[in-house]
Structures are given as structure tokens and as C-alpha cells.
Amino acid sequence: MNMKGRDFLNLQDYTPGEIGALLELAEELKEKQKSNVPHPYLQGKTLGMIFQKSSTRTRVSFEVAMYQLGGRPLFLNAGDLQLNRGESIADTARTLSRYLDGIMIRTYSHADVEELAKYAAIPVINGLTDLNHPCQIMADLMTVKEHKGQLAGLKLAYVGDGNNICHSLLFGCAKVGMSISVASPKDYWPQEQIVNQARQDALSAGAAVRITTDPVEAVSGADVVVTDVWASMGQEVEKAERVAVFAPYQVNRKLVAHAKPDYIFLHCLPAHRGEEVVEEVIDGSHSVVWDEAENRLHVQKAVLAALL
């Protein structure tokens, strides 16, 4: 399946077959890395990495991914680029396209990433925007597949803010035939347009999308339970208000008792123990968050190898 030259901005842009192919490539690359089998698929190629938001997992996993694929990562602090002095996104895209083989960007505005991709002649990969986080959800799908042996037919419960993680989970679950139930306070529900798009894909895949204010209803019978921080980067001033609003949505022992006995717990990290999740859950036997964090490396290697 040829995906060379494509952008990776949103899981909605990829077919179920393409997502499946990327997951299979990620599994192959993980096995090769664990077996010390060299796989320099990107030898001589360079990935520019633009960061307007700080990161632990995104920066380290993309840098290591390029090294293991035989290529070179180039860290570009957005504050050091001419963007900071008024150069347009279009001109930056045109210039970087003459030097690099691909761009990964982690920023706030999804519209900025779309504009970068529009004018770049090389693949642009979304490392996170305020709208979605496709690389993280590819790692989530890989982790679920590893632990459950399948994706289609499972139920995933997301409890918390209807944010970028929630949006990409809606797209990702619907594409692979996994039902998803989202529990959020009504003022923090995911965007209606994204829910409607996910419902169309879910219908085609024989799955369902449910949005509710009741976390018990969402988690009941779930194979996978997911949450995220209540105040993301850029929302720090809202933290006190959000902690009060989201308190009934904490993932704790009482809530996960409604999930299936063999449920797994995911969190994209960093986690605020005692807020969105308690230690007993994130450090408990059902938690697979460290496998999930590791799989960022393998799925991003697959995306890079397929697109660059």
C-alpha cells in the first residue's frame, strides 16, 4: 500500500485499510528493533521537528525513530524560526521543503498545520494540535491490539474532557470498528462535527458512538478505559474551575468496577495522579500505559517509513 508523499494530519484522512497497514508495519518494526535487526529505511533523510508546545514523549520518540530508521532528526524551536519575526507559514513551508524530507509539527492551531501542509512539498505529520493527536491514538490502537488481540468488536470508554485526544479516539475507533462511549460534562463534549463524522464511519464498520454525561454508563462493559488530564497545555488558568467540574469523572476503583473484569487502562501521559486518575488504577495490574508510551516510537516509525 503506497502512502509515499502523504501528510498525516488526521486519522479521518486515512482508510481503515491504511490504518491497519500502518499498525502492521509498526508491529514489524517493533519486532525488528527488539531482535536487533537493522532497518535503515530512511537512510540519508532528514525530519524537521517544529515545537511550539513542549513535550517529552513526542520529541524523544520522533528523534529515536529517525535514528533507528537511519535518518536524522532536526529540532526546530518555533521561537527560533523566522515565523517568530513574521515570516508566513506558506513561505516557511516552501523553504523547509527545499532542505528536508518531512516535517513533524507540534503546535496549538490545527489550521496552521493544515496551511503548512498545503504549501509544503514534503509530508507534514501532526505531532499534536488543539484539535487532534493522531500519532497518540495510533499508539493506543496498537496497544489495544497487542493486549486484546483485536480491535473490531471491542468497546472503549473515554472519560474526561472532549479534547484533541477524545477527537482522535472518535475517528480512530470508528475507523477500526471499535465502539466508543465518551463521558464528559455537557459543556466539554467533543465537537459535534467530529462526532457526526465518527458516527458515519462507525456505522459502516458495525460499531457505535455514544456521548453521555454519565461516566458509569460509558464505562459499563468496556474493554478499554481511557482518560486524559483535565487541563491541557494552554488551559492552566482554567485549572481550578476544571478540577471542580471534572471531579465526578475521576477514573477510580469504584468507576472501573463497571468495566469488564479484564479491561485495560490507557492514558497518553503526563498523568496527574489524584485528579483524573488515582494511583490504584494507573499503577494497577490493568494499566498498560508504559506499553502505550513505548508504542509511540513504533507507530511513528511506521508513519515515517511509509510517508517519507
For the question of residue 298 being annotated catalytic, the response is: no
For the question of residue 300 being annotated catalytic, the response is: no
For the question of residue 110 being annotated catalytic, the response is: no
Position 91: which residue type?
Answer: D
CA 13 to chain centre: 14
Peptide bond connecting 248 to the previous residue in cis, omega within 30 degrees of 0: no
**Residue that has been written with the C-alpha cell 528493533 in this structure:** 33
- How many other β-carbons are positioned within 10 Å of the β-carbon of residue 23? 22
Q: Length of the chain in residues, anyone?
A: 308
Compute the chain's Rg from CA coordinates: 19
For the question of residue 130 being annotated catalytic, the response is: no
Which burial class, exposed, middle or buried, applies to 57 when counting CB atoms under 10 A from its CB (0-12, 13-18, 19+)?
Answer: buried
For the question of residue 228 being annotated catalytic, the response is: yes
Determine contact, residues 4/280, Cβ cutoff 8 Å.
no
The catalytic position among 12, 68, 136, 300 is 136
The catalytic position among 140, 201, 223, 228 is 228
Determine contact, residues 11/171, Cβ cutoff 8 Å.
yes
Which cell numbers hold the place of 236?
492552566
State the Cα–Cα distance between residues 292 and 265, nearest whole angstrom: 10
The catalytic position among 7, 52, 68, 106 is 106
77: enclosing H helix or E strand: strand 72-77
For the question of residue 135 being annotated catalytic, the response is: no
Write the DSSP symbol of residue 114.
H
Which burial class, exposed, middle or buried, applies to 261 when counting CB atoms under 10 A from its CB (0-12, 13-18, 19+)?
Answer: exposed
Half-sphere exposure of 71 (CA within 13 A, CB side): 21
Determine contact, residues 122/47, Cβ cutoff 8 Å.
no
Instruction: Show which residues are catalytic.
Output: 106, 133, 136, 228, 268, 296
